[in-house]
Structure 1
Amino acid sequence: MAGKRRRGRPLGSDGANTREEILRVARQVFSELGYERTTFQEIATRVGVTRPAVNHYFRDKAALYSALFDSVRDSVMGASVNQATAQETLPGRLSAYLEAAVRIDSRDRSFARFIAASVLDGYRHEHLLGSTGEQVEQVRGFVRQALGAAVESGEIRDDIDIPAVTEMLIAVMWGIAWYAGFIGTHDQLEEVVEQFSRLIAGILW
């Protein structure tokens, strides 16, 4: 029958839009409650659909959590790296990476909250560590590559300890993610990124 709904799909909804709304709300709920305390019922209530409707798109909590990591990789990590690699200097690459994330934050702050909170969940729950580690490795790989390119071009000293500086920058960037998700307003986040960009460009002090 034409137009027949699949079982569990909410009335009057568009499949793609409903799925994206479930993902957005799920990022919020997982960030607030953590992996263990988050339930499909809580997500369904906040979205305004039935619990079976959530199951229509995601078979279980693990599948939903995996989809959240995919959405972060595609919407945040990928966009940020693409923006950054177009720059020619180390400060330009690092600034562009963060600025791209800020633009995404202006549209949907749930990404920053999930990125920050999921790291804790990954270390609390062994079966989530793989996804969390992959997320961290994406950032680590980008920073390491940016530093290596800066050494090769003569932009920074060739005796720099790239692994140590990489970890320092990851710590700062994850701190900014926490600030973006749970502490500052979007306007404050823009100021933080601007000042950080000036710092790494060597013009703040």
Structure 2
Amino acid sequence: MPGTDQGTGTRERILRAAERLFVERGYHATALQEVADRVGITKPALYYHFDSKAAILGSLLDPVTDELEAVLAEAVAQRDSRGIAAVRATLITGWLDVFLRYRGTLATLFRDLATAPSGSYDRLLRTMEEGIGAGAGPGAGVAERIALAQAVSAITDPIALMPDLSDDVLREHLLTGAWRLLPDAAPSAEREPGPEPGPGPEPAPRTAPEGRTARGGRPRSLSRSDADLARALYASGAHTAGEIAARLGVSRATVYRVLKT
């Protein structure tokens, strides 16, 4: 791929235009010429960056899986010190942030699942299967594994099926549904009335996805000094990505992107 800023910018414009067209028309019904026209480049110029439509979809899908894997690793790392409830809380809240950030790609997959590039889609499936296993816990029975699978579905399907709803509205209601399936993972204030639960860690405070306010708007990015602080906190080993995100007022996805640079 081109190493210049201009080349990188064109590649990103192609990805964004393709994603919008895939959502509007469907992956299968979108032609590469339409993508080129939307970007304002020639079809040969598009081929310089992507050799096929499947390559474009794969490039949209791979960052989703990268971030899901990062959340999964963070969740699993908490199992010994904080217990399975913390694993579930981190997994569900963190994955929801990722799915909301990439809701256009998620909608495309939901609509044209059969046409997804097999390698990228298989990797996504493996990650989700690993997450369900980690959230269910060692030695989990069928009921626990199904409850985790239902919770994951509860935070994915409505995002694809209800494009008219804002991120904030979706996040609130999807988490409420997920906590009904996984009551032990819910913040104490959102648990169903019942016997007082024993002491235990609670997940990091929830923040609006990508640092958005209740009014929505563009995602908040980290300043250079905040980005340096995020890297230093993570390198110390004393803070999880979720804790850093809560401290800086951004989502886990934003922190993960900074840590990869």
The answer, yes or no, to whether TM exceeds 0.5 is yes
CA displacement, residues 112-148 of structure 1 (integer Å, 9 cap, x when unaligned):
221243144223x4x7455434323321221112212
How many residues align? The count is: 182
Tell me the SS of whatever aligns to 2:28: helix
Q: Which residue matches 1:66?
A: 58
Identity %: 24
- Residues 192, 182 of structure 1: alpha-carbon distance in 2 compared, 3 angstrom cutoff: same
Is residue 137 of structure 1 aligned with residue 126 of structure 2?
yes
CA displacement, residues 153-174 of structure 1 (integer Å, 9 cap, x when unaligned):
xxxxx65534433432343233
Instruction: Return the offset for 1:63.
Output: 2.0
Q: Given the two structures, how large is their TM-score scaled by the length of structure 1? A: 0.69
Contact 2:75–2:90 (Cα < 8 Å) also in 1: yes
Tell me the SS of whatever aligns to 2:41: coil
Q: Where do residues 173-192 of structure 1 align in structure 2 (5 Å cutoff)?
A: 173-178=155-160, 182-192=163-173
Is residue 169 of structure 1 aligned with residue 158 of structure 2?
no
- Residues 105, 47 of structure 1: alpha-carbon distance in 2 compared, 3 angstrom cutoff: farther
Instruction: Return the offset for 1:101.
Output: 4.1
Q: Where do residues 80-95 of structure 1 align in structure 2 (5 Å cutoff)?
A: 80-87=71-78, 88-95=82-89
Q: Which of 34, 42, 58 is the equivalent residue of 2:34?
A: 42
- Residues 91, 116 of structure 1: alpha-carbon distance in 2 compared, 3 angstrom cutoff: farther
- Residues 60, 193 of structure 1: alpha-carbon distance in 2 compared, 3 angstrom cutoff: same
- Residues 119, 102 of structure 1: alpha-carbon distance in 2 compared, 3 angstrom cutoff: closer
Aligned counterparts of 2:137 and 2:99: Cα–Cα separation in 1: 28
Q: Which runs of 5+ in 2 are unaligned?
A: 185-190, 194-261
RMSD after superposition: 3.2
CA displacement, residues 66-108 of structure 1 (integer Å, 9 cap, x when unaligned):
222222222x3233323433443444333323433454567xx
The one-letter amino acid paired with 2:56 is L
Tell me the SS of whatever aligns to 1:37: coil
The one-letter amino acid paired with 1:84 is A
Contact 1:105–1:112 (Cα < 8 Å) also in 2: yes
The one-letter amino acid paired with 2:18 is A
Q: Which residue matches 2:113?
A: 122
Aligned counterparts of 1:85 and 1:15: Cα–Cα separation in 2: 37
Q: Which residue matches 1:9?
A: none
The one-letter amino acid paired with 1:186 is D
Contact 1:40–1:61 (Cα < 8 Å) also in 2: yes
